[in-house]
Structure 1
Amino acid sequence: MNGGDGGEAAAATAGPPAPLEWKFSQVFGERSAGEEVQEVDIISAIEFDKTGNHLATGDRGGRVVLFERTDTKEHGRNRKDLEKMDYPISRHPEFRYKTEFQSHEPEFDYLKSLEIEEKINKIRWCQTANGAAFLLSTNDKTIKFWKVQEKKVKKISELNVDPSKVCSAASSMVSSSPKQYLSNGSYPDQSHFSSRNDGLPDGIHSLRLPMITSSETSLIARCRRVYAHAHDYHINSISNNSDCETFISADDLRINLWNLEISSQSFNIVDVKPANMEDLTEVITSAEFHPTHCNMLAYSSSKGSIRLIDLRQSALCDSHSKLFEDQEAPGSRSFFTEIIASISDIKFAKDGRHILSRDYMTLKLWDINMDSGPVATFQVHEYLRPKLCDLYENDSIFDKFECCLSGDGLRVATGSYSNLFRVFGCIAGSTEATTLDASKNPMRRQIQTPSRPARSLSSSITRAVRRGSESPGVDSNGNSFDFTTKLLHLAWHPSENSIACAAANSLYMYYA
């Protein structure tokens, strides 16, 4: 066998990549021991831009915070060589705080007597232009289009006039002139002016007009457009199209198509609302455009199905082109079956060939060319199956965990309780399944503090576990877990093994 054949054979028999070793990078907004977390500071959305050099977070207080990459991309290598490689080298990514702005304010719908929270549900980056960043942010009802740009701060330059002399000269003019004029009706005496004929008081040889100078720059966020009054139910998703001109917004029953330049109207492309609301069996939970095909999008439902639709088929896409759903095992139905089957998030892979979905118990990877079932299923919360009754009582079973894929498509990730996140290898034969505590900062001395429940009902589950005979708060692997802390939101860098994840009000960065 020659060398070329041996190389091909080695490549053919090569197994999945080795598991990654994740390391802590940095943290923003870490609370000190015993510090209470304000509800408005809890992070509710995370999104990298396409380059990975910018990161945006939204919180329950309606604020958007932007971060930018600061570490250099060259480490003795040619930039062109780095751009050709998806994962050039393992390096320490560093971000810094850039700016923040108030995106949404609390509102009140007087027609429906309904309070509208300012909480940011989703953030999506748009195409940059002329050095300005554009992004979409939405709360339950209103989508806003923001432009963030550096503006030069204008200041008035200093004059060449001595303030003391100006004041004395001006006061002498004011004090003497009116008296002279009032006494004899003539013009005021000009003796306090100099003999020079330039018309300036003594001590002032020239008069310079004020000049505007621009010395400093400041980041300014401006709301360019507001897309409102198009959803009767809470918006759960927004997604940009690859044509860079349109985007979709989805609520429980409808998906609308918008043009970025037109905020006054939208087109309803999906409507699952039945004629009689009593016949409603499922709702839309998430929606996303295909990364490269501008005519394709997918949306998930509360019944655990994913529908792929083609905008070329009809104006109203009530009929799907493909349906993806996992067939449940016979005899396995229970009261919780439909609840835990509800998909909370879907993401297209970068190549557009695969879709990742997250339901309460599992992560599933789907091939859009194979609708018979998922190509891979990853167990995330299987250890919670005996505790579904307790999870239902305190509403934890309705928690909506997000998911993400690596840029090379080799790995997937999602969050869990106790501020844990899990990374799985999705290549055939891979056994990679890493669990990390996102909130465990190795740079800080750990101090044990009593955990505070996110809401009063959350403590009922810990009481129920302590009353049981099994070990309190321990999963099948012996890992302790806490239902009052949960990692719902995370994002994978588009071209590197770097993950940003939110634990309450803190943003943690990890890399491999």
Structure 2
Amino acid sequence: MNGGGEGLAAPATSGAAVSPLEWKFSQVFGERTAGEEVQEVDIISAIEFDRTGDHLATGDRGGRVVLFERTDIKDHGGHRRDLERMDYSISRHPEFRYKTEFQSHEPEFDYLKSLEIEEKINKIRWCQTANGALFVLSTNDKTIKYWKVQEKKIKKVCEMNVDASKSMENGAVASSMSTSSKPYLANGCKDRPVSSPSNDTSFPALHLPVVVTSQETSLVARCRRVYAHAHDYHINSISNNSDGETFISADDLRINLWNLEISNQSFNIVDVKPANMEDLTEVITSAEFHPTHCNTLAYSSSKGSIRLIDLRQSALCDTHSKLFEEQEAPGSRSFFTEIIASISDIKFAKNGRHILSRDYMTLKLWDINMDSGPVATLQVHEHLRPKLCDLYENDSIFDKFECCLSGDGHRVATGSYSNLFRVFGCSEGSTEATTLEASKNPMRRQVQTPARPSRSLGNLPRVLRRGADNSGADTNGNSFDFTTKLLHLAWHPSENSIACAASNSLYMYYA
């Protein structure tokens, strides 16, 4: 499976060829032990680095958001400005640690539509930080939430300085007061009892508990906004605008524009819903704002096309300013053509000049100034073409793989089956095509895997009961497993470091 650079149509970036990277394992979070069953709610469903790369967020199917913090910069006294001046090609070993987690979404039930709404986190996006606080947008199928995560100093009740020698007297006084004929009033306890002890000297000085702020801190996640009731279909994308004030959310048929400070109102800027739903031919699959132009965004469709729209042209952007799609070769159409052409993810390059798209078979790199075709086509799953029938039978053909670009734009990456991820060079003359198994941890203690517990046929998923083959081998003899897949990954914004999710585990690699 190490081949795959074929089909490179044109250079993505100018300049001399960049030598291939040597990827090394960095660390893993949440790795299961041999034979341990993975709970469905623990499977990671979203990954995102923040703009600086100092923080990483993951979301899972249980509705939780977990935040990680980079530690090697602090440990070695590095500063972000110094790192930005460093050569991007310098190999660094990033180290992250668990920071905090919070429950972002809960399962819901829509009684009007008799529809269960899963708590699964579909996307996470970082917002601009302020006063040391972190801001995160997270969404499930229907509701987007805006979270603020901040360190708060712990407040404690200091010890009350009561004279120990008078503790017995206090007890006697309390006993005497409790037998009073007139109890305290319930509305504030302001009235004294009628019969009070005759010896007033038995009352020590009154000491009230004092709340003091300690030097210890704890992380507190607070939901600042809830953006709900704006999507009839499942939300597949959210994306922040470079203006720092607005963001978009996209479902199958519509894209809405929100202001971060206004949760009860959004503007519908794209609507592809036809008057008659029987005329529906394509749906929106992914959407993203341009990294620097606040008026420009792109969205992809299930027909394999990408549309660039300009918010300055019209309030309702049903007409696109540019269309990027590749014409299919004559005579190549089959039953699977439209399915495998559907784009599952798009990402803008950091400079905004290129768009990377991922369909089932390939990665394509597009120049936004050239809509005649992609400047590079990288084969990811060409070896699976003979098995498309099996992939359709077990529903694997509908898997939505994400993609990402390096900060310098020289490389792209995406996931595959058997927990593999692939890194391709896309600069001029590059033939780099590296395949790595994310779940192959060299630090793992070798333990013989026990036999899997037998399960009754009734407990097997529907797709496995069909008898379809869920494993196989490519033309090079490399085996692959359709049941293990690496769908989610993210590239560090300024270094050659990749975070990827294999089931419930988060793996970090660097080069």
The TM-score, its normalising length taken from structure 1, stands at: 0.89
TM-superposed CA distance for 1:385, in Å, is 0.3
Give the structure 2 partner of residue 483 of structure 1: 482
* Partner amino acid, structure 2, of 1:350: K
Preserved CA contact (<8 Å) 2:170 2:202: no
* Partner amino acid, structure 1, of 2:64: R
Structure 2 CA distance for aligned equivalents of residues 359 and 125 of structure 1: 25
TM-superposed CA distance for 1:105, in Å, is 0.6
The aligned runs of 1:350-365 (5 Å cut-off) are 350-365=350-365
TM-superposed CA distance for 1:173, in Å, is 2.6
Structure 1: 5+ residue stretches without partners = 1-11, 194-198, 467-471
- 2:257 matches 1:272: no
* Partner amino acid, structure 1, of 2:480: F
Structure 1 residues 278-305: Cα deviation after superposition (integer angstroms, max 9, x where no partner): 0000000000000000000000000000
Change (3 A) 1:481 1:170: same
The aligned runs of 1:164-183 (5 Å cut-off) are 165-166=166-167, 168-175=168-175
TM-superposed CA distance for 1:176, in Å, is 5.6
TM-superposed CA distance for 1:437, in Å, is 0.3
* Partner amino acid, structure 2, of 1:370: M
Structure 1 CA distance for aligned equivalents of residues 202 and 112 of structure 2: 67
Give the structure 1 partner of residue 491 of structure 2: 492
Range moving further from structure 2, 473-482 or 360-369:
473-482
Give the structure 2 partner of residue 424 of structure 1: 424
Change (3 A) 1:451 1:500: farther
Structure 1 residues 155-186: Cα deviation after superposition (integer angstroms, max 9, x where no partner): 110122145732x112323556799999xxx9
Preserved CA contact (<8 Å) 2:237 2:287: yes
Structure 1 CA distance for aligned equivalents of residues 79 and 121 of structure 2: 40
Give the structure 2 partner of residue 508 of structure 1: 507
Range moving further from structure 2, 354-363 or 438-447:
438-447
Give the structure 2 partner of residue 68 of structure 1: 69
* Partner amino acid, structure 2, of 1:488: L
The aligned runs of 1:323-334 (5 Å cut-off) are 323-334=323-334
- 2:232 matches 1:232: yes
Give the structure 1 partner of residue 408 of structure 2: 408
Change (3 A) 1:207 1:355: same
* Partner amino acid, structure 1, of 2:431: T
The aligned runs of 1:9-48 (5 Å cut-off) are 15-48=16-49
Preserved CA contact (<8 Å) 1:459 1:484: no
TM-superposed CA distance for 1:451, in Å, is 7.5
Give the structure 2 partner of residue 54 of structure 1: 55
Preserved CA contact (<8 Å) 1:256 1:268: yes
Structure 2 CA distance for aligned equivalents of residues 171 and 111 of structure 1: 61
Preserved CA contact (<8 Å) 1:160 1:207: no
Q: Aligned-pair RMSD on alpha carbons?
A: 2.6
TM-superposed CA distance for 1:88, in Å, is 6.4
Structure 2 CA distance for aligned equivalents of residues 273 and 306 of structure 1: 17
Give the structure 2 partner of residue 82 of structure 1: 83
Preserved CA contact (<8 Å) 2:364 2:374: yes
Preserved CA contact (<8 Å) 2:169 2:202: no
* Partner amino acid, structure 2, of 1:31: R
Q: SS of the residue aligned with 1:72?
A: helix
The aligned runs of 1:303-314 (5 Å cut-off) are 303-314=303-314
Relative contact order (alpha carbons < 8 A, sep ≥ 6): 1 or 2 greater?
Answer: 2
The aligned runs of 1:340-355 (5 Å cut-off) are 340-355=340-355
Q: SS of the residue aligned with 2:48?
A: strand
The aligned runs of 1:6-405 (5 Å cut-off) are 15-72=16-73, 81-85=82-86, 87=88, 89-162=90-163, 165-166=166-167, 168-175=168-175, 190-191=198-199, 199=201, 201=203, 207-215=206-214, 216-405=216-405
TM-superposed CA distance for 1:76, in Å, is 9.2
Preserved CA contact (<8 Å) 2:73 2:79: no
TM-superposed CA distance for 1:87, in Å, is 1.7
Structure 1 residues 96-136: Cα deviation after superposition (integer angstroms, max 9, x where no partner): 11111110111111111111100000000000011111111
- Give the paired residue count: 482
Structure 2 CA distance for aligned equivalents of residues 273 and 164 of structure 1: 81
Q: SS of the residue aligned with 1:481?
A: strand
Change (3 A) 1:86 1:230: farther
Preserved CA contact (<8 Å) 1:421 1:487: yes
Structure 1 residues 208-238: Cα deviation after superposition (integer angstroms, max 9, x where no partner): 4422112221111111111111000000000
Change (3 A) 1:190 1:372: same
Change (3 A) 1:211 1:144: same
Structure 2 CA distance for aligned equivalents of residues 127 and 180 of structure 1: 61
* Partner amino acid, structure 2, of 1:479: N
* Partner amino acid, structure 2, of 1:273: K
TM-superposed CA distance for 1:475, in Å, is 1.2
Structure 1 CA distance for aligned equivalents of residues 198 and 319 of structure 2: 92
Preserved CA contact (<8 Å) 2:393 2:468: no
Q: SS of the residue aligned with 1:169?
A: helix
Structure 2 CA distance for aligned equivalents of residues 34 and 363 of structure 1: 34
Structure 2 CA distance for aligned equivalents of residues 38 and 86 of structure 1: 42
* Partner amino acid, structure 2, of 1:110: Y
Give the structure 2 partner of residue 7 of structure 1: none
Change (3 A) 1:389 1:223: same
Preserved CA contact (<8 Å) 1:458 1:483: no
Q: SS of the residue aligned with 2:128?
A: coil
Change (3 A) 1:15 1:76: farther
Range moving further from structure 2, 311-320 or 84-93:
84-93
* Partner amino acid, structure 2, of 1:384: L
Preserved CA contact (<8 Å) 1:152 1:214: yes
Give the structure 2 partner of residue 6 of structure 1: none
Q: SS of the residue aligned with 2:441?
A: coil
Q: SS of the residue aligned with 2:506?
A: strand
Preserved CA contact (<8 Å) 2:26 2:95: yes
Preserved CA contact (<8 Å) 1:150 1:220: yes
Structure 1 residues 4-37: Cα deviation after superposition (integer angstroms, max 9, x where no partner): xxxxxxxx99741111111111111000000001
* Partner amino acid, structure 1, of 2:50: D
